[in-house]
Amino acid sequence: MKFYRAEYIWIDGGKPTAKLRSKTKVVPVGEELPIWGFDGSSTNQAPGFNSDCVLRPVYSVPDPVRKGPNDVLVLAEVLNTDMTPHETNTRAACVETAKRFEDQEAIFGIEQEYTFFRGTRPLGFPNGGFPAPQGGYYCGVGSDEVFGRDVVEKHLDACLRAGLLISGINAEVMPGQWEFSGWSP
């Protein structure tokens, strides 16, 4: 029997900022992505005495990192064991809103900024002290202005191979800080 790897990705219950979690399911080729579960007591989503949470696949794309012919990344939403939306599942309310306004066109975009670190310092910061003030880094060009471009390019390439709606990248105002943006479908 042949198998593929499905990386289930979900949003945890972290506060003030939720984080991504993921784990891998090995699935026989030809079988649909199943409902799955996880231990919510380690993700701020359940108490230890009743820790089961449900993962329901809602979207999948080819996995651009593992690159196996059937491997996929799976966006999953979190449900309670009675299959109602978990309190950390903000997607459920978003789906209702999207359905209510499905005859209208969405015109918003989304950007995500992030910063690379090397050890305990942002990538590109000098070993002692601080970098020069902002001004040259935003949309900067050249290895004296931007840091980590090799990783950024690989990330963009992976997003495009996965078929995600990424719409651009740029260096941001601090050394080691970058942005990617996306559009609504």
- Kindly list the residues in this chain that would bind Mg ion in the complex (CB under 5 A): 179
Instruction: Kindly tell me which of 75 and 169 has the beta carbon lying closer to Mg ion.
Output: 169
Instruction: Kindly tell me which of 145 and 179 has the beta carbon lying closer to Mg ion.
Output: 179
Q: Residue 112 in contact with residue 178, Cβ under 8 Å? A: no
Q: Residue 38 in contact with residue 55, Cβ under 8 Å? A: yes
- The radius of gyration computed from the CA coordinates of the chain, to the nearest angstrom, equals 20
How many C-beta neighbours within 10 Å does residue 89 have?
21
Instruction: Kindly tell me which of 51 and 115 has the beta carbon lying closer to Mg ion.
Output: 115
How many C-beta neighbours within 10 Å does residue 27 have?
19
Structure tokens, 156: 């963009």
7, β-bridge pairs: 24, 73
Torsion over CA: 53, 57, 59, 64 (sign): positive
Q: From CA 25, how far away is CA 72, in angstroms rounded?
A: 10
Structure tokens, 12: 């945890």
Q: Residue 110 in contact with residue 167, Cβ under 8 Å? A: no
Shortest Å distance, C-beta 5 to Mg ion:
33
Structure tokens, 63: 């996995």
Shortest Å distance, C-beta 170 to Mg ion:
7
- Residue number of the CB closest to Mg ion reads 179
